């Protein structure tokens, strides 16, 4: 696998779009989705799950 830090996709979306995407992914993979900020530490649950990391773009420009 390539270096994921440099190949990570960037998706611009509203809060409602993020919630809808999380609901879709939860249904698609039959697993709960945890939405978190990019600077937060997330404790991994023992069961199967997905983590959606959300961040705001830096001030004044493109991400």
pLDDT at 1: 46
55 in Cβ contact with 38 (< 8 Å): yes
What secondary structure does DSSP assign to 1-62, as a single string?
Answer: ---HHHH-------HHHHHHHHHHHHHHHTS-EEEEETTS--PPPSS--EEEEE-PPPTTS-
pTM of the model: 0.62
Residue 50 has a CB neighbour count (10 Å cut-off) of 14
Whether the predicted pLDDT of 8 surpasses 80? no
- Ordered by start, the domain boundaries in the chain are 9-54
Residues 13-63 have pLDDT tens digits of 888 888 999 999 999 999 999 888 888 888 877 888 888 888 877 665 555
pLDDT at 3: 47
Residue 2 has pLDDT above 70, yes or no: no
């Amino acid at each position: 696998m390539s270096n994921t830090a440099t190949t990570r996709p960037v998706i611009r979306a509203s809060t409602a779009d993020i919630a809808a995407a999380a609901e879709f992914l939860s249904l698609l993979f039959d697993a709960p989705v945890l939405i978190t900020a990019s600077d937060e530490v997330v404790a991994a649950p023992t069961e199967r799950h997905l983590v959606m990391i959300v961040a705001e773009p830096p001030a004044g420009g493109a991400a």
